[in-house]
Structure 1
Amino acid sequence: MQSSRFLDRTTPPRIVTLILLAGLSALTMNIFLPSLPGMAVWFGVPYGVMQQSVALYLALSAALQVVIGPISDRYGRRKVLIWSLLLFLMATVGTLLAPNATVFLIFRMAQAVIAAGMVLSRAVVRDMVDDAQAASMIGYVTMGMSLVPMIGPVIGGVLDDLYGWQANFALLLVLGAGVLWLVWADLGETATLRLVTLRQQARTYPALFASRRFWGYTLAAAFASGCFFAFLGGAPYVGDKVFGLSSSAVGGLFALTAVGYAGGNFVAGRYSVRIGMNRMILIGTLVTTLGLALLAVLTLAGLSGPITFFGLTLFMGLGNGICLPNANAGMLSVRPELAGTASGLGGAITIGGGAGLAAFAGVLLGPGATELPLVLLMLASSLASVLAILSVMRRARQLGA
């Protein structure tokens, strides 16, 4: 029975396959963050140049998500995922062989093709279950996924201290090959293929863009995750330059945010059906905002330090873990027949905004800067997420009336 299951190309995947797909995408984003200061020294460039490996990766990831969703609606989730993983492996080899920072950044951008894992793991869930169950299942998928990036910076920091930054990308190469095999063996096609051209697919975009619900859910997700992407762009600098921490110490403290995210995903998986998507999104955004507001107050009072700074980001992780599965399910519920397209467009807006905030964080944290500009940027983004979901809820009340 077990072997026949692995030969079947038409059955839905096991949940572990979706977890590892999304997890590889998240791990690629953050495993090497503790290495950024050392990589700048290795390539002989300023920290700001290497910090762009975060912003550029996110920018190309956003652009790719615009087309990944529609292509998967047309040709199928399975084919798109297999080709994306093959291209990811080639790009990872390029990062290891890069002779200078420019070549490294080119191949680093090419690694963004693994965004297909994040986009299509959500779309596969929506293919399999209805709206309420989708929010719950996405919560469980991302809870399991969060275990990977939770230990990613820790492993990345230790590998950097022991073997150098290249070890992080060597690990990605090995893991990418393993996930490719698992997708080939386990992930059957879940999409109902739509026999239309990509141009015809693009004509469906206005239906999504004209929807206030789609924009509300998308902006709630974009601003909620935006504070996290700003954190990704600025926290390595804060840990190294402001607090004088080692790569392994920064990696270990990064895990606090992911612990909160895993907890939030558990709450989303357990209570989303009972409480409802909109209220869960509001709860999540408020948790993040209150945690960051407290961090801002302590920083302004001169009471911040590495434990305070990284410790209070646990609430950012908790809030995002509650908010994002529900916001993503909300995006996909606007037009269920366009789940892949909606996931791609919503993801592109979310990740594109994150790229901008990550780059802006790098600009704010110039020589001699403290952590305060980063904290205020994160707080502003979280406040915007609260306003976005309140607009959705207000619109729902108006329509109900």
Structure 2
Amino acid sequence: MNRHTPAPPDMQHDEWTGPRPALVTLILLAAVSPLAINLFVPSMPSIAADLGAPYATVQLGLSLYLIMMAMLQLVIGPLSDIYGRRPVIYAGLVLFLIGTALCVFSQSATVFLAGRVIQSASVTGMVLSRAIVRDVYPREKAASAMGYMVMGMAVAPMIGPAIGGQIDELFGWRMSFVALGLFGAAAIIAGMISLPETNRYRGTSLRAQVESYRKLGRLPAFWLYALSAGFTSASFFAFLGGGPAVSSVYLGLSPSDYGLYFAFCALGYSIGNFLTGRYSERHGLERMMVEGVVVSLAGPLITIILFSVGIEHPVAFFLPLALVGFGNGMTLPNATAAAISLQPESAGAASGLLGALQIGVGAVASVIAGIIVGTDAQPIPLCLFLLACGFLAIVLTLAAVRSNPRG
């Protein structure tokens, strides 16, 4: 059988025998996109002042980036299933470097936003690192490897705002994008050194890739796993969307204070991913998913109780909501591995579709959360919305577990 043609059904679950990519390489490739989201956020006022543009216009650099990320994930997977993981990753990162250069040398908000849109192509690394893990590891081991990978990748959004703010103060906002470009170049070099091509079934026609989406669309279990991941993420994205307003308006914290307290949530996410890496292979994907969504639900519930009895300290808001990050870290890698494992020969398409749904649901949740907190920025209404997202995640997770015979 030619290695560039699709494997027959009875060979689609054979064990990977080639060299495995270095985990640190996958972390670097996956971290470029989230770092590009977070690193420039503290510099948005500086960018607006320097380019002579309204702050709201510069803020589009974040929302347009997220929108393009969601859209690109629908095509990245199928392209990698046709041409292989490596060419698509490198093409995306080269586009990222081009977009980064546009941002560095931009003299207008229009050019800056165009650069941000092109930068979103870095999402190839984030999407295909998951597909690569599933290419080379069996189902349970894949969840464990994803847990460790995401734990390392989570460092980027944890430290990105702090690093970006320091670079801006010392050297100006453009140097933040220079740093992003250097990070992207390092990821490309690491991939060229230690990333083998892992897609054994590449070379299929576009029609076959469309058929892959049709097959995924006919799998109720896939939609349940994907929506479980989406509403689990929605709790976290809603916290990102409404938390800063509660921090600033209701609790009276400065942006730097918010960054420090937010570390609780990011640390919880890292710990959850560590536990996934440590125990998923032993305990099973479905059990870890269920435990994760229950933990996520506990966070906003504790905050509501504390604020209802008059304990309105920032720790009472941020520390319990660290459980949302903790639960996300337990649920998301396992849900991803389970969803992709339903059709391993279309791992790229499955990873892309799942990622698009996850970011799409999360983005909508962040907008709704911003509306809910309103001008008063009350924490309890925000936490009630987080509870609603968490409850839906539990329902969908239990339905996903029951729909899968392995569950």
Q: Same fold (TM over 0.5)?
A: yes
The C-alpha deviation readout for 1:256-281, integer Å capped at 9, x for no partner, is 22211111111111111222111110
Give runs of aligned pairs for residues 249-264 of structure 1, distance below 5 A.
249-264=257-272
> What displacement does 1:348 show?
0.9
> What displacement does 1:384 show?
1.4
For residue 78 of structure 1, what is the aligned residue in structure 2? Answer: 86
For residue 211 of structure 2, what is the aligned residue in structure 1? Answer: 203
> What displacement does 1:193 show?
3.6
For residue 3 of structure 1, what is the aligned residue in structure 2? Answer: none
For residue 350 of structure 1, what is the aligned residue in structure 2? Answer: 358
For residue 15 of structure 2, what is the aligned residue in structure 1? Answer: none
> What displacement does 1:320 show?
0.7
One-letter code aligned to 2:242: G
2:102 to 84, 94, 98: 94
Q: 1:240 to 1:165 in 2, by over 3 A?
A: farther
Whole-Å separation in 2 of the counterparts to 1:179 and 1:353: 28
Give yes or no for contact 2:66–2:120 (8 Å, CA) kept in 1. yes
For residue 192 of structure 2, what is the aligned residue in structure 1? Answer: 184
Whole-Å separation in 1 of the counterparts to 2:198 and 2:105: 37
How many residues align? The count is 390
Q: Does 1:382 align with 2:374?
A: no
> What displacement does 1:42 show?
5.7
Give runs of aligned pairs for residues 134-149 of structure 1, distance below 5 A.
134-149=142-157
Q: Does 1:234 align with 2:242?
A: yes
For residue 10 of structure 2, what is the aligned residue in structure 1? Answer: none
The C-alpha deviation readout for 1:341-384, integer Å capped at 9, x for no partner, is 10011111111112222333344455443444443333322221
Q: 1:111 to 1:302 in 2, by over 3 A?
A: farther
Whole-Å separation in 1 of the counterparts to 2:309 and 2:375: 22
2:178 to 170, 182, 186: 170
Q: Does 1:319 align with 2:323?
A: no
Q: 1:384 to 1:43 in 2, by over 3 A?
A: farther
**If the length of structure 2 is used for normalisation, what is the TM-score?**
0.87
Give yes or no for contact 2:233–2:362 (8 Å, CA) kept in 1. yes
One-letter code aligned to 1:149: P
Q: 1:30 to 1:304 in 2, by over 3 A?
A: farther
SS of residue in 2 equivalent to 1:188: coil
Identity level (%): 44
> What displacement does 1:83 show?
0.9
The C-alpha deviation readout for 1:59-107, integer Å capped at 9, x for no partner, is 2111101100010011011111111111011112222333444443332
For residue 5 of structure 2, what is the aligned residue in structure 1? Answer: none
Q: Does 1:303 align with 2:311?
A: yes
Give yes or no for contact 1:33–1:236 (8 Å, CA) kept in 2. no
Whole-Å separation in 2 of the counterparts to 1:373 and 1:15: 41
Q: 1:126 to 1:33 in 2, by over 3 A?
A: same
- Worse overlay, 44-53 or 121-130: 44-53
Whole-Å separation in 2 of the counterparts to 1:148 and 1:232: 16
The C-alpha deviation readout for 1:205-257, integer Å capped at 9, x for no partner, is 12111112101110111111122222333334444444444443333333222
- Worse overlay, 223-232 or 303-312: 303-312
SS of residue in 1 equivalent to 2:312: coil
Q: Does 1:159 align with 2:162?
A: no
Q: Does 1:22 align with 2:30?
A: yes
Q: 1:32 to 1:299 in 2, by over 3 A?
A: farther
Q: Does 1:60 align with 2:68?
A: yes
Whole-Å separation in 2 of the counterparts to 1:242 and 1:95: 35
One-letter code aligned to 1:353: V
Whole-Å separation in 1 of the counterparts to 2:401 and 2:340: 17
Q: 1:206 to 1:312 in 2, by over 3 A?
A: same
Give yes or no for contact 1:264–1:317 (8 Å, CA) kept in 2. yes
Give yes or no for contact 2:373–2:381 (8 Å, CA) kept in 1. yes
Q: 1:381 to 1:118 in 2, by over 3 A?
A: same
One-letter code aligned to 2:287: R
One-letter code aligned to 1:330: A
Whole-Å separation in 2 of the counterparts to 1:212 and 1:61: 25
For residue 6 of structure 1, what is the aligned residue in structure 2? Answer: none
Q: Supply the RMSD in Å over aligned alpha carbons.
A: 2.5
One-letter code aligned to 2:240: L
Give yes or no for contact 1:12–1:189 (8 Å, CA) kept in 2. no
Q: Does 1:333 align with 2:341?
A: yes
> What displacement does 1:25 show?
2.1
SS of residue in 1 equivalent to 2:154: helix
